[in-house]
Amino acid sequence: MAKVPVQFTLNGSEKAEFVESGTTLLNALRDKIGDTSPKGGCHQGTCGACSVIVDGELRLSCLTLAETCNGAAITTTSGLAEGGVLHPLQRAFLDAFATQCGFCTPGMLMAAKVLLDHTPDPSRDDVVEALSGNICRCTGYEPIIQAVLTAARANSQNAA
Amino acid sequence: MALALQSFATVKDASAALKAAGTRYLGGGTLVLRAANEGDVSVSGLVRSTDPALSVITVSGGTIRIGASVTMAAIARHPELGQLAKAARAVGGPAIRNMATVGGNLFAPSPYGDFAVALLALDAMVSTNDGEMPMEAFLAKRGGSRAIVTSVSFTRPAQGSFRFVKVSRVKPKGVSVLSIAAILEQAGDGTISSARIALGCMADRPMRAKTAEKALLGRTLDADGIASALAAAGDGTAPITDPIASAWYRAQVLPVHLGRLLLS
């Protein structure tokens, strides 16, 4: 299989790799680059566990080819914490017990981050809509929704 | 399984490459990569075109043209496509809408393809590198064509004439039990002068409810006026059975949801 060069920015760091043509972004991140924060769940675009942010948009890395992301800026859950300090969303997920087995959590965090980036003061319906592509089989969703709302409130208080 | 991807600057070159056996066109990836991940060994190579024209929305006079690579998210946020936003938002969750394209939705098998249902009601024309044809004709032979869809175009519906509903069991995102799109025009006396109704999940691809359309002509939009249309709503349908709903269930609830849409 032909290998193709792929360059992108991952969580602020330049990455350059050769991948087999047709490799998904999920596999490139996990197997080539070693960022295992995006999870391979259904591989069908249904569960959202593999969600990452590509150029500011939420994308499913299991259905995205790595070579189509050449030159893109990619954010994964690994890039949320800064200097050892958890992102407000991560802190809120911990405080609200919004994670149990944890498999869906990275995708949930990515979906929530895109929401708060565009809508800093979301309604509950906004949060439900933003998380509607992500499946969790443990929490029943309510703690996750509350965590996102809590993080939003913390953000707005910090900004005030 | 890795699939070699070939990217071309023009649709013409992509079309030539697509003639090779086992190749599939890559739009947003939500159908073809899903199939590949599922183990569909009929897919051995992918082809795409990066022509920027494929990602353009043009609103000119009364005509709207949407490039095949335009995503559902782009439609939902476009200021002049407000009437279609509901149908675009009916497709998947936020990540899917950032990826799923108009061109790809035309090929989505039931229970998917909700936006194609809207395009069928809008009487859209489908442009390919081989020419242009009405949506209904395109859908009839979509499996056998190797042409690349480049855009869809349609007349901007009069304000308030376009109606759409997606019925699902999981809110806000869920697979369709069925979807219905309708364009209704009324004469000065309030009677229906023109009706186009498209149904999703009531066959293996979007279809028109032509008997119901005829039954609406000259009638008023009230319970008595739409009764005969509701009675005929299932004519010619062959609903799918899947884990979401049985064919029997879909047939039973179609008139209920069509009635609600018409009276809304």
Per DSSP, the residues of chain A read --EEEEEEEETTEEEEEEEETT-BHHHIIIIII----S--S-SSSSS-TTEEEETTEEEEGGGSBGGGGTT-EEE-GGGTSBTTBPPHHHHHHHHTT--SS-SSHHHHHHHHHHHHHH-SS--HHHHHHHTTT---SSS-SHHHHHHHHHHHHHHHHHH-
Asked if A41 contacts B95 with a C-beta cutoff of 8 angstroms, the reply is no
At B57 the three-state DSSP class reads strand
Asked if B167 contacts B253 with a C-beta cutoff of 8 angstroms, the reply is yes
B111 touches A: beta carbon within 8 Å:
no
Predicted pLDDT of residue A154: 85
**CB-neighbour burial class of residue A140 (10 A; exposed 0-12, middle 13-18, buried 19+):** exposed
Q: How many beta-carbon pairs below 8 A join chains A and B? A: 83
Interchain contact, B33 vs A59, CB within 8 Å:
no
pLDDT at B143 over 70: yes
B192 touches A: beta carbon within 8 Å:
no
What separation, in Å, do the N-terminal and C-terminal C-alpha atoms of chain A show?
A: 54
pLDDT at B189 over 60: yes
Residue in the block written with tokens 């809110």: B171
CA angle B47, B113, A58 (to 5 degrees): 65
Asked if B188 contacts B214 with a C-beta cutoff of 8 angstroms, the reply is no
Predicted pLDDT of residue B172: 84
The Cα of A115 is separated from the nearest Cα of chain B by a number of Å equal to 10
Interchain contact, A45 vs B26, CB within 8 Å:
no
User: What DSSP element (H or E) covers B60?
Assistant: strand B57-60
Per-residue pLDDT reduced to its tens digit, B231-252 = 999 999 999 999 999 999 999 9
- The amino acid sitting at B160 is G
Predicted pLDDT of residue B23: 94
Interchain contact, A133 vs B92, CB within 8 Å:
yes
φ and ψ of B194, to 5 deg: -155, 140
Q: Band the pLDDT of B1: cuts 50, 70, 90.
A: low
| Candidates B1, B33, B93; nearest CB to A133 | B93
Predicted pLDDT of residue B240: 97
B86 touches A: beta carbon within 8 Å:
no
Asked if A130 contacts A85 with a C-beta cutoff of 8 angstroms, the reply is no
Which is nearest to B32 in space by CA: B72, B63, B55, B5? B5
Query: Which parts of chain A have pLDDT scores under 70?
Result: 1, 158-160
- Structure pTM? 0.95
CA angle B254, B239, B81 (to 5 degrees): 65
Per-residue pLDDT reduced to its tens digit, A25-47 = 999 999 999 999 999 999 999 99
Cβ contacts (< 8 Å) between A21 and chain B: which residues? 2-5
Asked if A36 contacts B81 with a C-beta cutoff of 8 angstroms, the reply is no
Spatial strand order in the sheet of B131-134: B57-60, B63-67, B149-155, B125-128, B131-134
What residues contact residue A120 under an 8 Å CB cut-off, 6+ apart? A152, A155, A156, A159
The Cα of B251 is separated from the nearest Cα of chain A by a number of Å equal to 26
Q: Which residue of A has its CA nearest to B174?
A: A132
| Candidates A43, A58, A129; nearest CB to B37 | A43
The Cα of B205 is separated from the nearest Cα of chain A by a number of Å equal to 21
What secondary structure does DSSP assign to B74-114, as a single string? HHHH-TT-HHHHHHHHTSSSHHHHHH-BHHHHTTPPTT--H
Predicted pLDDT of residue B146: 87
Interchain contact, B4 vs A21, CB within 8 Å:
yes
Predicted pLDDT of residue A160: 58
Which is nearest to B116 in space by CA: B104, B106, B124, B107? B106
Asked if B219 contacts B225 with a C-beta cutoff of 8 angstroms, the reply is yes
Cβ contacts (< 8 Å) between B38 and chain A: which residues? 43-44
Summary mean pLDDT of chain B: 96
Q: Band the pLDDT of B171: cuts 50, 70, 90.
A: confident
* Tokens of residue B212, six digits: 């119901």
Give the E-state strand segments of B129-224 in sequence order. Answer: 131-134, 149-155, 162-168, 176-186, 192-200, 207-208
Spatial distance between the Cα atoms of A54 and A32, rounded to a whole number of angstroms: 18
- The amino acid sitting at B226 is I
pLDDT at B20 over 80: yes
Cβ contacts (< 8 Å) between B95 and chain A: which residues? 45, 48, 51, 58-60, 111, 133
Predicted pLDDT of residue B173: 86
Asked if B149 contacts B68 with a C-beta cutoff of 8 angstroms, the reply is yes
